[in-house]
Amino acid sequence: MKIIMTELEEDIMNLFLGLNIHKPNEIDIWRIAEELDVWIHHYSEESKTTKFNGSYYILLNDELSPQEEFQDFAHELGHIIRHVGNQHKLRVAFRELQEHQANNFMYQFCVPTYMLQNYEIINYYNIEDGVPIIAKDFNVTEEFARKRLIQLRNKIQQAKLDEKHREFMESLYPKAPPYSKETNKVLNRLQAILNKKGATR
């Protein structure tokens, strides 16, 4: 089944394809940061994003595993790409919204849908079968891979439900020819009116 991607999923796909990134092992945070003119530094505190003299900096905690570092980078990059200004000046609800958006960006960025749909595991009902494969190939933690696969499974299940609903509604209300007798009557009347108006001009 073809997956219909969201605008965010398409934006991330276009970003990666624009950087000639087609496979998980080609995702390199240092190269991406350089291409996007973002500076990466390590320090001893919690990862965060800051702007200084017109440049963006992603400050990554220096005790993270390579997988956690990748995930934190993606989260902070989500703030840079999707948000502007000082988050700390925002009300709590807006800060929570931005954190949710940055987390969503992180999941889509670290394990992009256009790459993930090439794996047969998207058809697995048992998510656990795919967790170690995704964690290894995309360089993320197993917990992260599990959440990402659950997201994809939910998306596929929703798409299947939507398709069934659409088919059911189309069976009740067909839109395309052959039209019902009633619809043809209305169309014929309209055509006759149009022909009459054209003849009187």
Q: Summarize pLDDT for 4-55 with one digit per residue, the tens.
A: 889 999 999 999 999 999 999 999 999 999 999 999 999 999 999 998 888 9
pLDDT digits (tens, 9 = 90+) for 95-120: 788 888 999 999 999 999 999 988 87
Residue-level pLDDT at 150: 92
39, HSE (Cβ side, Cα atoms, 13 Å)? 10
What φ, ψ does residue 125 adopt, rounded to 5°? -80, -30
Rg (CA), the chain: 25
The ranges assigned to domains in the chain are 7-164
Structural tokens at position 88: 């700390």
Residue-level pLDDT at 25: 95
The DSSP secondary-structure symbol of 62 reads: T
Cα gap 29→134, rounded to integer Å: 18
pLDDT at 180 over 70: yes
N-terminal to C-terminal alpha carbon distance within the chain: 53
Structural tokens at position 189: 């009347």
Higher pLDDT, 190 or 144: 144
